[in-house]
Structure 1
Amino acid sequence: MSTPTLTLRSVTLGAGRPAVCVPVVERTPADAARVTAALPAGAADVVELRLDHLTGSATDPDVAVRAVAGVRAALPHGTPLLATFRTVREGGVQPADEDAYATLVRAVLAGGQADAVDVELAAAHRADLVRRAHDAGAAVVLSHHDFAATPPRARLLALLREQAAAGADLCKIAVMPHDVDDVLALLGATADFARAADRPAATMAMGGLGVVTRLAGEVVGSALTFGSVGSASAPGQVDATALHGVLALVHGALVADAPPPSDPV
């Protein structure tokens, strides 16, 4: 069975080394564009604009639309842009009720500048937002975040499968581990999903305990990891440049261990 992939501009998720997504967490559209333009060359395979960090975006979607347009203009043509408004219930910094959340995501999609949008699995208007994104030609990252704990391995696998069934182009889970068993549960569920998946996933455990999941995703089938340049958007994010080096090291070892291709019959 071939490995499922998702291509965003020049980046293919799920093919070999995980891509590195760098979050931009500024308060104004101008600052977001400025920070994006200053990212070191090669640091970001993908850029995530965290719309919930933009002052006033929850009540004025035009703030988010302007920020997305400015960041897109500041990025190299081949670098994909993921637009994300993270709700407070899943670790975001700005309150927004279900209708406000949906209005903002719809406005960003109508602007046509984001290559992908994050839609929370728990969102009340999830089905409409997934449909609108696909109609607009944008990929959907269906996400679930738990900043308090790590669900059991079976529950994590069920969440990934639910995301896939709901139309995710990329399934995403981030959890908070409290011991090594939580980390192993996340890694195991990712591997379970990847064995039979028809689309890629991105999974990570947060904090210091979870750093290994950000580094070794390729081993279990996680296609995207998050690294910081300056401000991080979640506990445990490591420097993006250093992260690239570790991912390359892991990938090289996996390639060296891979069996040679079979001779054609």
Structure 2
Amino acid sequence: MDKLVKVRDLIIGDGIPKICVPIIGKTREEVLEVAKSLSDINYDFVEWRVDWLDNPLDLPYITEILKELRSILNNVPILFTFRTAIEGGEEEITKEDYYKLNYGIIISGLVDMIDVELFMGDELVTATIEEAHAHGIKVVVSNHDFERTPAKKEIVNRLQRMQSLGADLPKIAVMPVDKTDVLTLLAATEEMASTYSSTPIITMAMGRNGVISRICGEFFGSAVTFGSASHASAPGQIPANELSNIITKMHEFF
């Protein structure tokens, strides 16, 4: 199976890893200011972390901001993400509200991709994926462990489970306590990518120990890396321009 995902004019899984930049802001003005500042940054798509917003469940308010974001970003793909507190986000949310928010965003047609967390449960994840696909929206099914790095087998199992549920882009981020944990994450990435995956996958180790995974993840099978613009959305993110320069330089020799 062709391991590519096309979002607007962007093809994920082909060529150099794609760089995603988070958009973070508590107010409409802050969010739009970040979006406008991206004109001088090398990146491929954005992730709007709506859980940072001052009222992240106000669907009419959010959709109005999305309309303005689309105008500013033109053809740049937008990934919409409400990161729950249990997975490192800014807000707690019930499963019912989580689904309602994502459903409302999906039917608005204002985003290109949506993130849904694996541990929200198979029923919610499957329902979200089906609705998103019915509206031509790609789905990142994600899991973030800010406490530890699971064993290699567990990382691979989680990525396989995401894929089996219908994820277009399975994603896992882990917190290493030492360099061995980073090797575990990279080994799991290679096993998944080379043996089991039918889609591009996204993996990373967070924090200082994990920085190298954001740079070299592609050599083990990760198709996307995250670089910061004004603020990082997770520990260990490298400024996007520096990340782009490093990756581009590496590709001069391969």
TM over 0.5: yes
2:106 is the counterpart of 1:109: yes
Matching residue's letter, 1:24: I
SS class of match (1:12): strand
Distance 1:32 1:192 in 2: 38
SS class of match (1:216): helix
2:128 is the counterpart of 1:129: yes
2:69 is the counterpart of 1:63: no
- Listed one character per residue, the Cα deviations across residues 137-171 of structure 1 (whole Å, up to 9, x for unaligned) are 10000000000100000100001100100110011
By how many angstroms is 1:3 displaced? 5.8
Q: Is the 8 A contact 1:160 1:173 kept in 2?
A: yes
By how many angstroms is 1:128 displaced? 0.8
Q: Which residue of 2 aligns with 1:72?
A: 70
SS class of match (1:122): helix
SS class of match (2:252): helix
Q: Which residue of 1 aligns with 2:12?
A: 13
Misfit runs of 4+, over 4 Å? none
Distance 2:18 2:156 in 1: 22
By how many angstroms is 1:42 displaced? 4.6
2:253 is the counterpart of 1:253: yes
Q: Which residue of 2 aligns with 1:4?
A: 3
Distance 2:85 2:43 in 1: 26
SS class of match (2:114): strand
Q: Is the 8 A contact 1:64 1:104 kept in 2?
A: no
Q: Is the radius of gyration larger for structure 1 or structure 2? A: 1
- Listed one character per residue, the Cα deviations across residues 109-135 of structure 1 (whole Å, up to 9, x for unaligned) are 111010000010111411111111001
Q: Which residue of 2 aligns with 1:170?
A: 169
Distance 2:86 2:110 in 1: 27
Q: Is the 8 A contact 2:34 2:230 kept in 1?
A: no
Contiguous gaps of at least 5 residues in structure 2: none
By how many angstroms is 1:20 displaced? 0.5
- Listed one character per residue, the Cα deviations across residues 52-98 of structure 1 (whole Å, up to 9, x for unaligned) are 0111113x222322222221221032x11100000011001012111
Once the two structures are superposed, the pairs formed by residues 13-162 of structure 1 within 5 Å of their partners are 13-58=12-57, 60-77=58-75, 79-124=76-121, 125-162=124-161
Q: Which residue of 2 aligns with 1:259?
A: none
Q: Which residue of 1 aligns with 2:208?
A: 208
Q: Is the 8 A contact 2:207 2:236 kept in 1?
A: yes
Distance 1:187 1:245 in 2: 22
- Listed one character per residue, the Cα deviations across residues 199-220 of structure 1 (whole Å, up to 9, x for unaligned) are 0001000001000000002201
Moved more, 132-141 or 49-58: 49-58
Q: Is the 8 A contact 1:216 1:250 kept in 2?
A: no
Distance 2:146 2:61 in 1: 27
Distance 2:43 2:67 in 1: 18
Q: Is the 8 A contact 1:29 1:70 kept in 2?
A: no
Q: Which residue of 2 aligns with 1:221?
A: 221
Distance 1:177 1:152 in 2: 11
Same amino acid, percent of matched pairs: 37
Q: Is the 8 A contact 2:41 2:240 kept in 1?
A: no
